[in-house]
Amino acid sequence: HMKGAIFDLDGVIVDTAKYHYLAWKALANRLGFEFTEAHNERLKGVSRVESLRILLEIGGIEVDEQTFNEMAESKNKEYVASIAKLQPEEILPGAKAYLQQLRSQGVKIALGSASKNAEFILSKLEIADLFDAVIDGNKVSKAKPDPEVFVSASVALGLDPKDCVVFEDAEAGVQAGKAAGSKVVGIGSPEILREADLVIAGLAELAG
Ligand code: B16
Ligand code: MG
């Protein structure tokens, strides 16, 4: 029986991956190499710092710590400028309806995201009030597939992870949810999200 529902943000509630991609691509181009959508797949669900490490590896570039931090900051500035224009209409199909449905059934709702911009995104989408707790990249130290983010989200809801269902689009996120002891609904392809208890194409399949 589901007492709590914990949602990943990017890829589950909203497609921010396209904005991350444009900002990472611009950085790569400034550094003189191409960064493709296929490359971008490797950054989904991964923290900002780890994303930059992967990007520099793709470009075959080594930098000192200060330059690394400046690059992460400049990417984030560009990303934040683009998500500042996010519209409530960009919520993925069925996501808002499903959140509202769960609330009306008395299910507690948390966000469990790697993003440090999660609160800003929820406010732009005008859905912050649908969440009982928000655990994001500012509140956790261990990245998915570590279960920290989902354990913390369960604790914040006052629930045992076993009574929570995690909704995730990234393989590392599915692993994190399973490691927390929760049931996991994968959003995307069953070939990639093998460890999920159930895989669906999107929350529209559950809403209504
Ligand atoms: P930020 P999620 C993740 O969000 C994104 O999938 C990932 O591409 C991004 O690097 C990460 O957030 C950190 O984002 O730079 O805003 O802190 O899927 O965990 O909701
Ligand atoms: Mg995600």
Q: Which of 13, 18, 20, 69 to mutate for ligand 1's pocket (most ligand atoms within 8 Å of CB)?
A: 20
End-to-end Cα, the chain, rounded Å:
19
CA-closest residue to ligand 1 atom 5: 45
State how far the alpha carbon of 161 is from the alpha carbons of 33, 105, 155, 174, 186, in Å: 43, 19, 8, 14, 17
| Ligand 1 close to Cβ of residue 135 (< 6 A) | no
CA angle 178, 182, 187 (to 5 degrees): 70
The candidate with the shortest Cα–Cα distance to 109, out of 10, 208, 2, 4, is: 4
Query: How much is the pTM?
Result: 0.95
Binding residues for Mg(2+): 8, 10, 168-169
For every one of its 208 residues, what pLDDT tens digit does the chain have, with 9 covering 90 and above?
899 999 999 999 999 999 999 999 999 999 999 999 999 989 988 999 999 999 999 999 999 999 999 999 999 999 999 999 999 999 999 999 999 999 999 999 999 999 999 999 999 999 999 999 999 999 999 999 999 999 999 999 999 999 999 999 999 999 999 999 999 999 999 998 999 999 999 999 999 8
- 132 as an active site residue: the answer is no
ipTM of the complex: 0.94
State how far the alpha carbon of 46 is from the alpha carbons of 20, 49, 76, 99, 167, in Å: 11, 8, 14, 24, 16
Q: 110: which strand partners?
A: 6, 133
Cα–ligand 1 centroid distance for 72 (angstroms): 13
